[in-house]
Structures are given as C-alpha cells and as structure tokens.
Amino acid sequence: MADIVKAPGKYTKDKFTIFLAGAIDMGSAEDWQVKVSEALKDFEVLILNPRRDDWDSSWKQEKSDPQFSEQVNWEQDGLEASDLVLVVFTKDSKAPITFLELGMHINNDIMVPIISVFYKRYFVLCSFYYNNFFNARTNF
C-alpha cells in the first residue's frame, strides 16, 4: 500500500520513493497528483506530493518567508531523497519551477518527464536530454 505525504509533511524513506514534480502553478493547475497517487495506491511506495492542502498565495516568494522557505526546502529534500521523479507537464501549465527542477537534475537518471500534450518547448527539451522521456497523451 502506498504512503502519500504532502508538503510539508514528515516522512521516513523506508521504501521506494517517488517524487511528483510538475505543474502546480500556485494551486491553479489541475490536481494531476491525485490521479498519479490513485494509480500507484496498491504499490509499496512512498509518494512525495509537493501540492499543499494549506497553500496560501499571499506568501511572499522569498527566502525570508518561513512558509515559502519551508516549501522550497521540503521539495529540494524530496527530490534528493527520491528513487524516481515523475516530472509532469500538463496542457495549460507554464511550469517555470518544473523547468528549473528538470534543469537542476538534467544528468540524473531518476527523472522521468511526462508530457500530456504536444508543446514544442516541453517536447524538445525532454526528447533531447532524456532517454526515459514519456509522451503521454492523457487527460492530465
């Protein structure tokens, strides 16, 4: 059974760990993380989901803001702790942070980019740098 931990929850890395990187867009992107978590619910995995239930868009996106800093640190720690990182680009997202995370880990074999719609900038980046690239024509 999958254990699902949302930011900024505490976790113990005691099983195969999957980080759900990808479009959140300050809470406005579709909650694709629910679909992925549901699909993986019967596997013995730890799923790290950065989408917060208590996100507040009024937080200053600055290191000095304690909630924002906590979020960024939780995500970076989760990316480093994971055995697999699913990087999801959804149809209507701009995903600037996702591009940053993808670039930061460009030589990391645990990154698996997933594209739900053909969009040139996603496709070119992922097909050029990632052998594990998965072009998913899905509903998320």
In the chain, what percentage of residues exceed pLDDT 70? 75
Question: Of 73-77, 96-100, 122-126, where does mean pLDDT reach its minimum?
Answer: 122-126
Would 10 be classed as within a structural domain?
yes
Domain count, the chain: 1
Would 13 be classed as within a structural domain?
yes
Residues 20-35 have a mean pLDDT of: 83
Q: Report which listed range, 54-58, 103-107, 110-114, 118-122, is most confident.
A: 54-58
3-state secondary structure of 129: helix
pLDDT at 1: 94
Range of the domain at 114: 3-135
Would 32 be classed as within a structural domain?
yes
In the chain, what percentage of residues exceed pLDDT 90? 41
Task: Tell me how far CA of residue 120 lies from CA of 5, 35, 104, in angstroms.
Answer: 32, 24, 20
Would 70 be classed as within a structural domain?
yes
Would 103 be classed as within a structural domain?
yes
Domain harbouring 101, CATH code? 3.40.50.450
Beta strand ranges found along the chain (DSSP E): 3-6, 16-22, 45-49, 84-89, 111-115, 134-135
